[in-house]
């Protein structure tokens, strides 16, 4: 068998084995329930919005401070 044909066959088997291993590992994963996903997604959204509001308020405060105190407008 030529070297390139042997390499091609080995690569193909290697890829198929890799895909099989991925499927095996995915079967071991404990997936969250729909309710848990919804709860955690909502929690992340609420925390992100709250953090954005806090950081926006801090930014607004520092902008006002710089304009009024340092620039003197």
Whether residue 53 sits in one domain with residue 42: yes
Q: Do 21 and 54 have their domain in common?
A: no
Residues 72, 45 share a domain: yes
Task: Say what the pLDDT of residue 5 is.
Answer: 58
* pTM as predicted: 0.60
13-48 per-position pLDDT tens digit: 888 999 999 999 999 999 999 999 999 999 999 999
Task: Name the more confident of 4 and 56.
Answer: 56
Counting the structural domains of the chain, the total is: 2
- The overall average pLDDT reported for the chain is 89
Q: Say what the pLDDT of residue 11 is.
A: 79
Do 32 and 40 form a contact (C-beta atoms < 8 A)? yes
Task: Please state the length of the chain.
Answer: 73
**Whether residue 3 has pLDDT greater than 60:** no
Is residue 52 a contact partner of residue 44, using CB atoms and an 8 Å limit?
Answer: no
CB 49 within 8 A of CB 55: no
Range(s) of the domain holding residue 24? 1-30
Residues 18 and 40 in one domain: no
**Residues 20, 51 within the same domain:** no
4 and 19 housed in the same domain: yes
């Amino acid at each position: 068998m030529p070297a390139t044909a042997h390499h091609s066959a080995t690569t193909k088997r290697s890829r198929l084995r890799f895909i099989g291993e991925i499927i095996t590992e995915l079967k071991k994963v404990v997936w969250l329930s729909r309710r848990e996903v919804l709860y955690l997604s909502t929690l992340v959204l609420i925390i992100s919005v709250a953090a954005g509001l806090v950081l926006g308020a801090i930014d607004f405060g520092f902008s006002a401070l710089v304009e009024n105190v340092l620039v003197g407008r």
